[in-house]
Amino acid sequence: MEEMFASIEDLLENEISIDCVGHRVVHGGEKFFKASVIDKEVTRGIEACVNLAPLHNPANLKGIEIAMKKFKKCTHVAVFDTAFHQSIPETAYIYLLPRKLYEECGVRKYGFHGSSHQYVAREAARILELPMHNSSLITAHLGNGCSATAILNGKSVDTTMGLTPLEGLVMGTRSGDVDPGLHEYLHNTLGWEIEEIHNMLNKECGVLGLSGLSSDIRTITNAAKQWHRGATLAVDVFAYHLTQAIVRLSVNFRRLDALVFTGGIGEHSATIRSKTLRQLRILGFDLDRLRNRIDGKESQGIITFKGVELVAIVVPTNEQMQIAWKCSDLLKSG
């Protein structure tokens, strides 16, 4: 934080003034469905969500505290990863558990990567000249953490991550979906406790666990080209689970306008995009291999053939810009 502030001081010397500081906050629970100007009540709300994001929200609060001391005259805004997904209907966010666990403990699907999904959906609609209020998009944020979201008329209607960022797709070191009975099985057969199982599912699984090599998809795809069995399996399973998720999310639409790839893997892995779209032929995708090979850089990100009805597009994410837009909107509204 001190190094960041030092670089900002250099900007201020060049007469650039700061009006607002935007803070990315991972979890806002059900309390926050939009960006909020930070005051005591908002701070208490973020604190109340610490049990939902014990690794992230305390650090977010510390950053807010330090920044508010440094920039005392600025407006400070919290932009929540979960807020964009608060439009998801109950049928999609509720778990098949006793109702009291939701009512008393807040156990439900929340979703994450909201700023990224919202940004790339907006950019894809702009590039494809789709009216946001009449559009059906699936966005796939693929990096070390991965999630996919169904966005209908600009609003999230379902997403793959759940109560925590562990649910859903295969990721760099996270398992994604597993049988809930796994915890009991590992405890009974290996004597593992909850903390050991949680650590394994978050840090030793996913692409890293399957390949036995790395959590970096670039290393894995290169190894797969050399016929490394673990790497080949990791790439295939990653694409297969992503394909399944896209098909499940598509049930939210009468039509699908576009599939949007973003994040480090989504933007740069032609292999993952190709494998995924080949398995999605039932939906009508027709991949242009040349466009895909160069990440759509000469076709506004579009990697399907020109003139086809169903488009796949690569859109670089920019969560910082999305946060800046949210701050700007709040400032304009007073």
From 80, 103, 137, the end of a domain falls on 80
Average pLDDT for consecutive 10-residue bins of the chain (334 residues)?
Answer: 81 76 95 95 95 90 94 94 97 97 96 97 97 97 97 98 95 96 97 96 96 97 96 98 98 97 98 97 93 96 92 97 95 86
Quick one: which of 142, 114, 124 has its CA closest to 246?
142
Does 305 fall in a domain? Answer: yes
78 and 32 Cβ atoms separated by less than 8 Å: yes
CATH number at residue 145: 3.30.420.40
pLDDT recorded at residue 15: 62
Sign of CA dihedral 176, 179, 183, 185: negative
| Same domain for 170 and 41 | no
Does 101 fall in a domain? Answer: no
Does 332 fall in a domain? Answer: no
Domain of residue 283: give its range.
114-319
In the residue annotation, 257 being an active-site residue is answered as no
Does 87 fall in a domain? Answer: no
Type of residue at 97: L
pLDDT recorded at residue 2: 82
pLDDT recorded at residue 204: 97
Does 66 fall in a domain? Answer: yes
pLDDT digits (tens, 9 = 90+) for 186-213: 999 999 999 999 999 999 999 999 999 9
Compute the distance between CA of residue 322 and CA of residue 139 in angstroms, rounded to an integer: 15
Strands 258-262 and 155-159: unpaired
- Beta carbons within 10 angstroms of residue 292's beta carbon: 22
Name the active-site residue from 19, 39, 81, 216.
81
pLDDT digits (tens, 9 = 90+) for 41-82: 999 999 999 988 888 899 999 999 999 998 888 999 999 999
| Same domain for 142 and 60 | no
25 and 60 Cβ atoms separated by less than 8 Å: yes
Tally of structural domains, the chain: 2
DSSP string over 118-177: HHHHHHHHHHHT--GGG-EEEEEEESSSEEEEEEETTEEEEES--SSTTSSS--SS---S
| Same domain for 241 and 162 | yes
| Same domain for 163 and 57 | no
| Same domain for 47 and 137 | no
* Total-model pTM: 0.94
| Same domain for 261 and 189 | yes
Place of tokens 């807020």: 83
